């Protein structure tokens, strides 16, 4: 298997790289038949590192990221469109993926229904999202809770959810209900990313500010991409990358569902 932890850390801020590396590994043992739709493909970086083949279609509503995805040449076709209004025929795709996208969508039910429309019966839809453990497990908020400052804890959770651009952080039962209404049945759901791993992601937003400055100036997150440059960081992150799955306290859930 590829060293996803290094590959993502080489290209991204470390906190985002850790999460994406864990998720890249999940896809390796899954059958993802062609043609495949990448719903919310963004800049194509995740697909480029995760899959050993080009995906047929990437869809995203944002102009900048989808143009960058075009430069990576990891999709045969790119479509700039809203996920609730896809310009594809019924039952066109044999599979779909959506990695850390659905939690950002206000009109989620409409997007799920449209995804069901363009998938063939029985086709897998594979995605991951933050769950009900995300906000309770934030370390700063837990500290405020422990010393009795509940209003500050609530304010911090609202702040962090806002900068994460989360619209939904739902549990498996809530997702099962949404999916059933849209025309899907859940095949498997695994919680992952422990409270300790979430703390690495949380604090990375603050410790990663130097990387943001580098990116503003150079359009790169790291100036030196050689493996040796990341050796201490990779050693620190390795135990979170290798956490046992599933984790009942995990802040994210990886779903494999099928079109009914």
**Would you give per-residue pLDDT tens digits along the chain (260 residues)?**
899 999 999 999 999 999 999 999 999 999 999 999 999 999 999 999 999 999 999 999 999 999 999 999 999 999 999 999 999 999 999 999 999 999 999 999 999 999 999 999 999 999 999 999 999 999 999 999 999 999 999 999 999 999 999 999 999 999 999 999 999 999 999 999 999 999 999 999 888 777 767 767 777 767 777 888 899 999 999 999 999 999 999 999 999 999 99
Q: Does residue 200 contact residue 234 with C-beta atoms inside 8 Å?
A: no
CB 128 within 8 A of CB 253: yes
Give the number of residues written for the chain.
260
- What pLDDT, on a 0 to 100 scale, did the predictor assign at position 126? 98
**Residue 31, both tokens:** 């059958």
Helix (H, G, I), strand (E, B) or coil at 68: helix
Where helices occur in 73-183 by DSSP H, the ranges are 108-118, 139-146, 150-163, 172-182
**CA nearest to 189, candidates 201, 164, 168, 171:** 171
Give the position of tokens 């390795």.
238
CB-based contact 168:102 (threshold 8 Å): yes
- What pLDDT sits at residue 221? 67
The predicted pLDDT at position 210 comes to 73
39, 81, 215, 221 from 126: Cα distances, Å: 10, 20, 31, 28
CATH code of the domain made up of 4-131+169-259: 3.40.50.150
What is the separation, in whole angstroms, between the first and last Cα of the chain?
Answer: 32
pLDDT value at position 1?
Answer: 82
With a CB cutoff of 8 Å and minimum separation 6, the contacts of 210 are none
Q: Which residues of 221-253 are buried (b: 16+ CB within 10 A; e: fewer)?
A: bbeeeeeeebeeebeebeebbeeeeebeebbbb
CA distance 123 to 63: 28
Distance CA 254, CA 124 (A): 13
* DSSP for 227-259, written as a single string: GGGGHHHHHHHHHHHT--S--TT-SEEEEEEEE
Q: What is the pLDDT of residue 228?
A: 87
Q: What pLDDT score was predicted for residue 208?
A: 72
Cα separations in angstroms, 14 against 108, 157, 228, 233, 260? 29, 22, 15, 8, 38
- 255 has which bridge partners? 127, 189
Would you state the pLDDT for residue 260? 97
Distances (CA, A) of 247 to 143, 177, 181: 22, 22, 27
Contacts of 230-234 with C-beta under 8 Å, sequence gap 24+, read 230/6, 230/9, 230/10, 233/9, 233/14, 234/5, 234/6, 234/9
């Amino acid at each position: 298997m590829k060293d996803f932890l290094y590959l993502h850390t080489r290209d991204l801020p470390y906190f985002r790289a850790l999460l994406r590396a864990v998720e890249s590994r999940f896809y390796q043992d899954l059958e993802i038949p062609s043609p495949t739709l990448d719903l919310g493909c963004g800049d194509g970086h995740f697909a480029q590192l995760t899959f050993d083949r080009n995906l047929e279609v990437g869809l995203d509503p944002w102009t900048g990221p989808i143009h960058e995805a075009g430069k990576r040449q990891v999709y045969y076709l790119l479509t700039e469109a809203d996920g609730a209004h896809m310009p594809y025929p019924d039952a066109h795709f044999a599979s779909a993926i959506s990695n850390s996208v659905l939690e950002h969508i206000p009109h989620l039910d409409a997007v799920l229904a449209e995804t069901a429309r363009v998938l063939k019966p029985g086709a897998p839809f594979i995605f991951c999202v933050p769950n009900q453990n995300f906000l309770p497990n934030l370390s700063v908020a837990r500290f405020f809770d422990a010393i009795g400052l509940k209003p500050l804890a609530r304010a911090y959770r609202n702040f962090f959810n806002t900068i994460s651009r989360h619209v939904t952080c739902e549990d498996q039962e809530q997702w099962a209900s949404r999916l059933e209404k849209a025309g899907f049945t859940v095949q498997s759901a695994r919680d992952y990313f422990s409270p300790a791993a979430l703390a690495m992601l949380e604090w990375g937003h603050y410790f990663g500010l130097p990387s943001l400055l580098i990116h503003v100036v150079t359009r790169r997150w790291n100036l030196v991409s050689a493996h040796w440059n990341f050796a201490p960081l990779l050693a620190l992150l390795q135990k979170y990358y290798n956490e046992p799955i599933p984790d009942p306290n995990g802040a994210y859930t990886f779903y494999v569902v099928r079109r009914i």
